Amino acid sequence: MLAGCGAGTGDEPDAVVAPPAPAVRHGEIDVDGTVRTYRLFVPTTLDRRRPVPLLVALHGGGNSVDSFVETTQLDGAAAAGNFVVAYPEATKGAWNAGFCCGSAPERGVDDVGFLVRLLDELEAELPVDPARVSMTGISNGAMLAYRFACERADRLHAIASVAGSVTVDDCRPSRPVSVLELRGSEDPLVPFEGGPPGLSDVEEELRAYPPAVEVAGLFAEAAGCSPAPASSTSGVVGIREWEGCDDGTAVRLVRVEGGGHVWFAPGLGAANASIDATELITDFIADPSS
Can you spell out the DSSP letters for 117-167?
HHHHHHHHHS-EEEEEEEEEEETHHHHHHHHHHHH-GGG-SEEEEES----
DSSP 8-state code for residue 16: P
Which DSSP string corresponds to 192-261? TT-B----TT--S--PPBPPHHHHHHHHHHHTT--SSPEEEEETTEEEEEE-S-GGG--EEEEEETT--S
Listed range (15-19, 40-44, 167-171, 235-239) with the worst mean pLDDT: 15-19
- Cβ(57)–Cβ(85) below 8 Å: yes
Listed by start position, the domains of the chain span: 22-195+208-286
Q: pLDDT-based confidence at 11, cuts 50/70/90?
A: very low
> Does 140 have pLDDT greater than 90?
yes
Distance separating alpha carbons of residues 268 and 278, to the nearest angstrom = 14
Average pLDDT, the chain: 90
- pLDDT of 200 higher than 90: no
Q: Reduced to 3 states, what is the DSSP secondary structure of residue 74? A: helix
pTM assigned to the model = 0.90
161 has a pLDDT exceeding 90: yes
Residue 77 predicted with pLDDT over 70: yes
What's the pLDDT tens digit per position in 216-228? 999 999 999 999 9
Instruction: For domain 22-195+208-286, give the fold.
Output: Rossmann fold (3.40.50)
pLDDT digits (tens, 9 = 90+) for 17-50: 445 567 999 999 999 889 999 999 999 988 888 9
The average pLDDT across 218-241 equals 96
Sheet holding 24-31, edge to edge: 24-31, 34-41, 84-88, 52-58, 128-138, 158-162, 178-184, 251-256, 237-242, 230-234
